[in-house]
Amino acid sequence: MKLRDRFGIFFAGLVAGAAAMPLAAHAQDGEALTGPAADYPIVLGEPYMIDGETFTPVDTMNYDRVGYVSADEDGSGGVTGAHKTLPLPSYVEVTSLETGRTILVRLERRGPMTTDRLLALSPGALVQLGASNGTPIRVRRVNPPEDHRAMLRQGGGAPLRMDTPASLVEVLKRRLPDAGSASLRDPRQDSVSGREPDAASIAAIDPSADLAKPPLQSLPVDAEADVNKAGEQADAGENPEPMAQSAEDENEPADPDLPKVDGGRFVVQLGAFSVRDNAERLAEKVEGFIISSGSLSLVRIGPFASREKAAQALAKLRSEGYRDALIQTAE
């Protein structure tokens, strides 16, 4: 076994073990965690390097990429996965770009320890997806129902998601790079590995363009419609709050009328931006604030004294079009 492979296996185990420690310690203080509390605390960790490339874990809500899968031979049972930068735990929909089959996966470990693979899946996840090492995939972060989360936490598998239409699969396959991965989101919000988008991508973007509904700029019009429609269908099943977007105001979400900010430890995070000017525009619009996380600017609202009040703000934000908003604990 190559030295790099040995290091990768050792490092993955080390990070996964460290990620599990806060949960185990918390459980020892009382009964085992159940329900939504079992997914907290969320662990990020420090930046690290693979093959000379730095990866910075970050809580990216609008994560949507295509790339290639690898087999996580050291993974636990159940339908789980390893990712380089998303929080642990978090949940993603993984779509095979060979068949269109889509499954829900719980991310529990860091990996894969190679730069040419986007995600590593446990044996159970590979079986459910019908995939093998090197299969092209789409990975999209989601907020699934609690009963589906519980199935994954208990070592089982959640119900299969809606298959991705063949026409959309063909569009997504055209976005695949020869190696590595590619974002399906606006480059201004591309925060994978904590890296800022390259200068050419930024220069090609109209700075006056709307930020709330990032376009897939390199897709044909009909393909862009397919991608947006698929995303809306998936969200509708997981976030039942109505979308208050009419034809007259579809270019920009309305200013949300949020619960009163009253201090506390809970905030609602709307997005992570590589370009600070874009974060400042959104923060001003929603009367929020910005904190820095590495090279990223995080837009947040709050703090709120209780999770219930934060949840009210979250529901309002999502109903106004901010579908990727997420409750966080203030630092």
CA-to-CA separations, 126 to 13, 64, 102, 137, 173, in angstroms, rounded: 20, 19, 11, 11, 19
Between CA 83 and CA 110 the distance in angstroms is 5
Does residue 256 surpass a pLDDT of 70?
no
Return the closest-CA partner of residue 63 out of 315, 314, 296, 289.
296
- For the residues 298-304, what does the mean pLDDT come to? 87
53 with 157, same domain: the answer is yes
Give the per-residue pLDDT at 257.
Answer: 58
Residue type at 141 in one-letter notation: R
Residue 67, pLDDT > 50, answer: yes
- Give pLDDT, residue 25: 37
Q: Given this model, what pLDDT does residue 173 score?
A: 93
CA angle at 62 for the pair 59 and 64, rounded to the nearest 5°: 110
| Alpha carbons 313 and 302: distance in angstroms, whole number | 9
Task: Flag the least confident range among 47-51, 58-62, 108-112, 193-197.
Answer: 193-197
The CATH number linked to 30 is: 2.40.40.10
- Token readout for 70 is 């690898």
Domain span at residue 262?
Answer: 241-329
According to DSSP, residue 156 is labeled: -
Domain count, the chain: 2
Residue 198 lies in a domain: no
Q: What integer pLDDT is reported at residue 97 of this predicted model?
A: 96
Say if pTM beats, i.e. exceeds, 0.85.
Answer: no
Highest mean pLDDT among 83-92, 185-194, 265-274: 83-92
Q: Same structural domain for residues 120 and 264?
A: no
Task: Give the tens place of pLDDT for each residue, 278-293.
Answer: 888 888 888 889 988 8
Distance CA 40, CA 38 (A): 6
pLDDT, tens digit, 9 for 90 and up, residues 13-57:
444 444 443 343 344 444 456 667 888 888 999 999 998 899 999
Confidence of residue 82 (pLDDT cuts 50, 70, 90): very high
DSSP 175-189: T--SSS-EE-S-GGG
Mean pLDDT score of the chain: 74
Report if residue 301 sits inside a domain: yes
- CATH number where 258 lies: 3.30.70.1070
Report whether 77 contacts 122 (CB < 8 A): yes
Given 173, 191, 220, which residue is the final one in a domain?
Answer: 173
Residues 79 and 168 in one domain: yes
Residue 135 falls inside a structural domain: yes
Lowest-pLDDT choice from 81-90, 166-175, 228-237: 228-237
**CA 90, 270, 200 angle in degrees (round to 5)?**
95
Q: What percent of the chain has pLDDT over 90?
A: 35
pLDDT recorded at residue 284: 87
Q: How far apart are CA 184 and CA 190, in angstroms?
A: 9
Residue 256 shares a structural domain with residue 143: no
Given 142, 173, 204, the domain boundary residue is: 173
- 248: in domain: yes
Tell me if 231 is assigned to some domain: no
Which of 54-58, 202-206, 260-264, 315-319 is least confident?
202-206
The length of the chain in residues reads 331
- Res 192 pLDDT > 60: no
Instruction: Dig out the tokens for 84 from the structure.
Output: 């380089």
Q: Above 60 in pLDDT, residue 163?
A: yes
Asked if the structure places residue 35 within a domain, the reply is yes
| Residue where a domain terminates, one of 140, 173, 206 | 173
State residue 265's pLDDT score.
81
- 119-154: pLDDT as tens digits: 999 999 999 999 999 999 999 999 999 999 999 999
